Amino acid sequence: MEIKISILIVLIKYGWRVRRKKWWCRYPFLPVPPKEWVLWRIETAWGIDSREFGLSKLPPLKTIIKDLFSFGHFLKYVGRY
């Protein structure tokens, strides 16, 4: 799989937009999205029930990366990035 820098930049911009509000005030001091939002995205992307989430239920890493770059492609060419 070829990694396109332009799509990677779009994904980074998107990640910055969905960060938790006032992320600098709460531990961990990282600009990450809220846990509930991430679980909801996992549920809508792969159909994994967010109430019974476990790492063993995630698809293979190759599938996750492919889906992330497909989403980045969508954002770049269909979205406003």
CA distance 48 to 45: 8
pLDDT in tens, the chain (81 residues): 566 899 999 999 999 999 988 988 988 888 999 899 999 999 999 999 988 888 899 999 999 999 999 999 999 989 776
pLDDT at residue 36, as a whole number: 92
Is 10 exposed, middle or buried, given 0-12, 13-18 or 19+ CB atoms closer than 10 A? buried
pLDDT at residue 74, as a whole number: 93
Q: Delimit the domains of the chain by residue range.
A: 31-81
Predicted TM-score (pTM) of the model is 0.77
